[in-house]
Structure formats: C-alpha cells, structure tokens
Amino acid sequence: MTRIDDTFARLKVEGKKAFVSYVMAGDPNYEKSLEIVKGLPAAGVDIIELGLPFTDPMADGSTIQLAGQRALEAGQTLEKTLEMVRSFRETDDTTPIVMMGYYNPIYSRGVDKFLQDAKDVGIDGLIIVDLPPEEDEELCIPAQKAGLNFIRLATPTTDEKRLPTVLRNTSGFVYYVSITGITGAAEAQAADVAPEVARIKSDTDLPVIVGFGVKTPETAEAIAGVADGTVVGSAIVQKIADDAPVADVLSFVKSLAEGAHRA
C-alpha cells in the first residue's frame, strides 16, 4: 500500500472525492515554490502533482510551458526537485506526491539511481507522459518494483482496443484527460466526461481522476461528481505566474478543493 492507496481508502470511508493539485517545482523560484507546496495540504489538497521542469514539454500548454521556463531559469533541477520533496516530508509524511514530467531527465540521471532517490525522499508515484505502455520495461516496471505507483493517462482517443494496454501496468489511479489537446485548453464538460469515466471503470478497479480543462470550483465539483476526483493545474499555475502572494494562491486552491469535496 502506498500513500496514494491509503489516501483513496480514506476518502472512500469519508465519502469524499479526491482533489489533486498540480504545481511546477521551482516556479517562480525554489523558496516560493516550496512554500506553496507545503501549504497545499492545509488548503484541502489530497494528492500533490509536482511538475518536473523540462525544456521540451510537448503535452503542456503555454501556461505550464512558461512555468517550466521560469523554474529552469531560476535554477531548478531534478536534484533540487528531489530536495524539495525531502524538505516537504520533514513536516508531512502522509500527503502523496506524484512527480509528473518527461523521461529525459530521469534517463539522464539513470533509472535505478532516480528510483532509489525518489523512494528515499518520499515520492509516491510517477506520471511520465512521453513513455507509452510499449516502453513499460524502461521505467514503469522498475518503478512498480521499487514501490512507486506508475500512473497512466487515458484520453478521449483511447479506444476499446487500446484501453487494456494502457491499464495493464497502471497503479495508484488512472488519469483521464478530459479533452483532446494540451493542458490549459478548453473547459472540461461533465456530460462528456461521465460516459468515458464509466467506460474506464468497467475495465479497472482503480480510481479514475479527471484533469485538463478544470479551472473553477464549479467545474471541479461537476467533474469530481462523475469521477473519483479531479485535477487542477493550469489555473493554479496561472495564479503563480501573475505573482499572486502565496496566501492568495492557497486561498484559490482551497476554493477548488472545496468544490471537488462537495461532489
């Protein structure tokens, strides 16, 4: 059982849906980013997705691309991202952290070293968007063996033939991408998402969390109402881009979490 498994078990007992927040590690700088991350659990976040900045973020829209650029320009590295998690764990040993990013920095570090370091600092799961299921031996299987969940994305274009392949080695939860395209694009619609979530859940017992296009407490509530929870990323990252004070960022996150938890 990972922290992710424990969190979903607790939420099920409480009759609540999960609220997952995404922020880019090191945006706009290490100190402010760490302060925001440390404040997320008290704002109602059940699972933290921590973005690993990368120079070629092909799945991300401009908001998160720019966040990655700001972080890199401020000196954020994979090493510093691991250190950020270590610092977070000094005061919080229960909130799951999922590292979300691309394979290149992990490959450059070395898979075995990265997985050992990730486990040591307290990372619970990985979402690596540019590694398809056909490459599971590369990172997914080793990550599972190391005790980390490997979370896969399903999309509106994941058809019945493809879905079992996507789900085969997934653990923790399934991340359903509510819209075709990049992060921060059109707003998600619960009526469109509901049948897709039901289709995925007919093939897996894992929780299904929906992200992309969730920007308001109302949408968070609507989407969480047809899934096991929802993810908000770009809307939070935009607050950080606008140089909002940490307290204002966390207040916005709290409003989103309350929306999801009302579902």
pLDDT digits (tens, 9 = 90+) for 200-255: 999 999 999 999 889 999 999 999 999 999 999 999 999 999 999 999 999 999 99
Per-residue pLDDT tens over the stretch 174-194: 999 987 655 555 678 898 999
* CATH pick for 3-258 out of 3.30.70.360, 3.20.20.70, 3.10.20.30, 3.30.300.30: 3.20.20.70
**pTM more than 0.75:** yes
Contact criterion met (CB below 8 Å) for 129 and 156: no
Using CB atoms within 10 A of its CB, is residue 55 exposed (0-12), middle (13-18) or buried (19+)? exposed
Using CB atoms within 10 A of its CB, is residue 78 exposed (0-12), middle (13-18) or buried (19+)? buried
The stretches of 61-183 forming alpha helices (DSSP H) are 62-73, 78-89, 103-109, 111-121, 140-145, 163-167
| Residues above pLDDT 90, as percent of the chain | 90
Domain ranges of the chain: 3-258
The separation between CA 261 and the C-alpha centre of its own chain, rounded to angstroms, equals 17
Query: Which residues form the catalytic set?
Result: 49, 60
Residue/partner pairs of 4-8 with CB below 8 Å, 24 or more apart? 4/47, 4/96, 4/98, 4/124, 4/125, 4/149, 4/172, 4/173, 5/149, 5/172, 6/94, 6/96, 7/46, 7/47, 7/95, 7/96, 8/173, 8/207, 8/228
- Reference 45, options 241, 244, 226, 209; nearest CA is 209
Tokens of 232: 């908000």
- Name the band, by pLDDT with cuts 50, 70 and 90, for residue 31: very high
